């Protein structure tokens, strides 16, 4: 069609040029706990639960007591420690006396060595009992207090090992707890993971330590980004996917574990032909552009285009590099074409 002079002045013509687009990979996934900030806490010794001090949703700090357990095993270990401590004291007195007697020539050197050996054995036993109490959960301060007072206390605390929130509790007063039991689960929710599965054909497009965005349907207004910290080295044979994991800051705890999420990874593609989105007109449910074939004449040409990115459309077919197209005013030119067809 031929454009009238008045309309021609309103048109902006530009050549088809090359541009780089971002290739977008969208991976369905979910929010998960950061396992590096997770602790499953149980007793260090078997016993009966006498008191519970923490409940689901409660914030706790490292070293805080979650529950108290009464353990006869702990009481027996404390008694053994006190006995070993007494033996060390007695053996030291015996060595001191033997050294005096040896100096006076009353006993032999062999007898003195025998007394010194018995002291060493008693000290070894005491250190072993000290270590046993530490394994059972007694702090150095509590062990020193036991040594000073001689008072046996069979109640041991279950303490938290990190700052966080109690998210699980499997304990009740009166139950018998074992060292293999997970009584509490504590998580630091200030950082979470987003875990997704990448199809094996797209796994090469995911880079370790690369940045990615996250869309969470439950939080539509949040702009969330994070770093990819894990790309599996193997393919899951049942799903033919590769597990991808990224870490996300969650200081305000709006992001909840098990929320559905989409991981969005963008990478620059190879250079290709592109035109402004404003150059495209829809005719018969297909994309078209006006190609200039003479100073005032234009041809409506069907084209194959990719999705819009930053106001540009990738050209998959129908145009060649350097071809002049209407990049502004195509809508008005198309209206003129329709008007002339109706005449």
pLDDT tens per residue, range 33-53:
999 999 999 998 999 999 999
Does this model's pTM top 0.85?
Answer: no
Percent of the chain, pLDDT > 70? 100
CA 118 to chain CA mean position, Å:
55
pLDDT tens per residue, range 265-324:
987 777 789 999 999 999 989 999 999 999 999 999 999 998 888 888 989 999 999 999
pLDDT tens per residue, range 215-266:
999 998 888 999 999 999 999 999 999 999 999 999 989 999 999 999 999 8
Which element (helix H / strand E) includes 46? none
C-alpha 278/C-alpha 258 separation (Å) is: 41
Cα–Cα distance list, 5 to 2, 9, 156, 251, 255 (Å)? 9, 6, 94, 61, 59
C-alpha 128/C-alpha 177 separation (Å) is: 25
pLDDT value at 183 more than 90? yes
C-alpha angle with apex 298: 296 to 300, nearest 5 degrees?
A: 165
- Average pLDDT (71-85) is 93
Quick one: how many helices (H) and strands (E) in the chain? 5, 23
Ramachandran class of 27: left when φ > 0, alpha when ψ lies in -120 to 50, beta otherwise: beta
pLDDT value at 175 more than 90? yes
């Amino acid at each position: 069609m031929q454009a009238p002079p008045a309309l021609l002045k309103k048109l902006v013509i530009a050549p088809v040029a090359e541009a780089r687009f971002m290739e977008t990979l969208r991976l369905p996934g979910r929010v998960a706990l950061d396992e590096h900030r997770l602790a499953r806490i149980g007793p260090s010794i078997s016993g009966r639960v006498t008191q519970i001090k923490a409940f689901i949703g409660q914030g706790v700090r490292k070293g805080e007591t979650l529950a108290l357990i009464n353990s006869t095993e702990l009481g027996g270990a404390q008694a053994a420690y006190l006995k070993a401590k007494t033996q060390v004291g007695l053996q030291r007195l015996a060595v001191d006396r033997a050294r005096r007697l040896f100096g006076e020539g009353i006993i032999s050197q062999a007898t003195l060595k025998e007394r010194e050996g018995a002291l060493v054995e008693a000290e070894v036993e005491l250190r072993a009992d000290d270590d046993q109490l530490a394994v059972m959960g007694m702090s150095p301060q509590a062990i020193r207090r036991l040594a000073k007072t001689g008072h046996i206390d069979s109640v041991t605390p279950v303490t938290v090992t990190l700052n966080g929130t109690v998210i699980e509790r499997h304990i009740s007063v009166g139950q018998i707890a074992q060292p293999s039991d997970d009584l509490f689960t504590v998580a630091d929710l200030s950082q979470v993971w987003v875990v997704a599965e990448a199809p094996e054909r797209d796994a090469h497009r995911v880079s370790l330590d690369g940045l990615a965005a996250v869309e969470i349907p439950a939080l539509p207004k949040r702009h969330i980004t994070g770093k990819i910290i894990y790309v599996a080295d193997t393919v899951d044979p049942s799903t033919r996917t590769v597990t991808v994991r990224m870490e996300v800051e969650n200081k305000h705890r709006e992001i909840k574990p098990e929320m559905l999420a989409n991981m969005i990874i963008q990478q620059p593609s190879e250079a290709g032909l592109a035109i402004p989105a404003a150059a495209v007109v829809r005719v018969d449910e297909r994309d078209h552009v006006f190609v200039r074939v003479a100073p005032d004449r234009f041809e409506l040409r069907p084209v194959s285009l990719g999705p819009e990115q930053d106001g540009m459309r990738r050209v998959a077919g129908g145009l060649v590099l350097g071809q002049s197209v209407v990049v502004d005013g195509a809508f008005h030119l198309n209206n003129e074409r329709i008007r002339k067809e109706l005449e």
